[in-house]
């Protein structure tokens, strides 16, 4: 597992897919806002080996999977994801008002979540999902920079990690999870995500109250969830703010 994670991290550094367990192709599409051709990597096959305690999949490719980002106007999108009406609204925000000014180094999924929120027509759960993905995406940048520093490798790809951005992304995701309706299909899974982000931010008392809430949710508190909660309780007891993974659970 440790070697696998190393391979994935090297994949980030080289910004290529790790072809040991996966296959991918470069796909071209047109930006729905400005019609510029955008190329991005599309994974055809990959494997998931474990998950973070924040449920981030860890496997032979980086999760979340790559999404197109237009170099011309900055729009981050998923193909056939926006209606024509939404595109008209977003063209105004992104091209006319330049709303991403000053946030150029944020992860792609942050931009996608941000525009979904601007539309005001999308479900809070869907918005929260992509804000959570923005933390996952940035976590790999953190891992890559750590790896570069520990191994004294030259940062030729100019990978840039900023701790205050990382903290903001987690706080922001917690705020968006708080707005999700209890009927949303992954509402309870998002409580596990929130719990992990709070622990990693050092908000241990808040994390403990989420643990109590999850324990009282009888339909959800069973199986692996019980193991995760037990593990989180141990980590909180140790004031542990690091990332951990489901394959570490051996209590």
- Min. distance of Cβ 68 from Zn ion in angstroms? 9
Binding of residue 76 to Zn ion (CB under 5 A):
no
What CA–CA distance (Å, rounded) separates 55 from 245? 8
- Min. distance of Cβ 107 from Zn ion in angstroms? 18
Binding of residue 178 to Zn ion (CB under 5 A):
no
Alpha helices by DSSP H, listed for 151-248, are 163-178, 187-201, 204-216, 224-237
Binding of residue 94 to Zn ion (CB under 5 A):
no
132-163 burial, b at 16+ Cβ within 10 Å, e below that, comes to bbbbbbbbbbbbbbebbeeeeeeeeeebebee
Q: How many residues does the chain have?
A: 251
Radius of gyration of the chain (CA): 19
CB atoms inside a 10 Å sphere around CB 199: 26
CB atoms inside a 10 Å sphere around CB 212: 9
Write out the binding residues for Zn ion, residues 17-46 only, by CB under 5 A. 31, 33-34, 36
Cα first-last separation, the chain:
18
- Min. distance of Cβ 75 from Zn ion in angstroms? 5
Q: Which is nearer to Zn ion, 95 or 167 (CB)?
A: 95
CB 128 within 8 A of CB 176: yes
**Which of 11, 13, 17, 75 touches Zn ion by CB under 5 A?**
75
The pair of structure tokens assigned to 4 is 């696998």
Q: Which is nearer to Zn ion, 34 or 246 (CB)?
A: 34
- Min. distance of Cβ 219 from Zn ion in angstroms? 44
Q: Which is nearer to Zn ion, 99 or 249 (CB)?
A: 99
Among the candidate windows 69-77, 146-154, 195-203, 241-249, which touches Zn ion by CB under 5 A?
69-77
Q: Which is nearer to Zn ion, 14 or 39 (CB)?
A: 39
The pair of structure tokens assigned to 228 is 């995760």
Binding of residue 72 to Zn ion (CB under 5 A):
yes
Q: What sign does the dihedral 62-66-70-76 (CA atoms) show?
A: negative
**Which of 12, 70, 180, 210 touches Zn ion by CB under 5 A?**
70
Binding of residue 73 to Zn ion (CB under 5 A):
yes
Q: Which is nearer to Zn ion, 32 or 125 (CB)?
A: 32
Residue ranges binding Zn ion (CB under 5 A): 31, 33-34, 36, 70, 72-73, 75
């Amino acid at each position: 597992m440790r070697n696998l994670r190393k391979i994935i991290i090297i994949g980030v550094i080289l910004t290529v897919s790790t072809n040991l367990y996966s296959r991918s192709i470069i796909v071209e599409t047109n930006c729905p806002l400005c019609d510029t051709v955008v190329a991005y990597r599309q994974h055809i096959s990959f494997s998931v080996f474990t998950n973070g305690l924040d449920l981030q999949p860890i496997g032979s490719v980086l999760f979340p999977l790559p999404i197109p980002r237009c170099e011309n106007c900055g729009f981050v999108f998923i193909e056939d994801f926006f209606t024509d009406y939404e595109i008209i609204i977003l063209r105004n925000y992104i091209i006319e008002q330049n709303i991403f000014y000053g946030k150029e180094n944020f992860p792609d999924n942050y931009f996608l979540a941000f525009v979904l929120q601007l539309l005001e027509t999308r479900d809070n759960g869907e918005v929260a999902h992509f804000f959570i993905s923005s933390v996952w995406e940035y976590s790999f940048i953190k891992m890559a920079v750590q790896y570069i520093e520990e191994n004294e490798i030259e940062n030729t790809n100019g990978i840039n990690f900023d701790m205050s951005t990382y903290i903001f992304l987690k706080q922001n995701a917690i705020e968006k999870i708080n707005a999700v309706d209890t009927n949303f299909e992954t509402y309870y899974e998002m409580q596990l995500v929130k719990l992990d982000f709070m622990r990693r931010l050092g908000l241990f008392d808040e994390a403990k109250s989420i643990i109590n809430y999850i324990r009282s949710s009888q339909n959800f508190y069973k199986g692996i969830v019980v193991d995760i909660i037990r593990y989180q309780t141990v980590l909180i007891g140790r004031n542990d703010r690091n990332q951990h993974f489901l394959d570490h659970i051996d209590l």
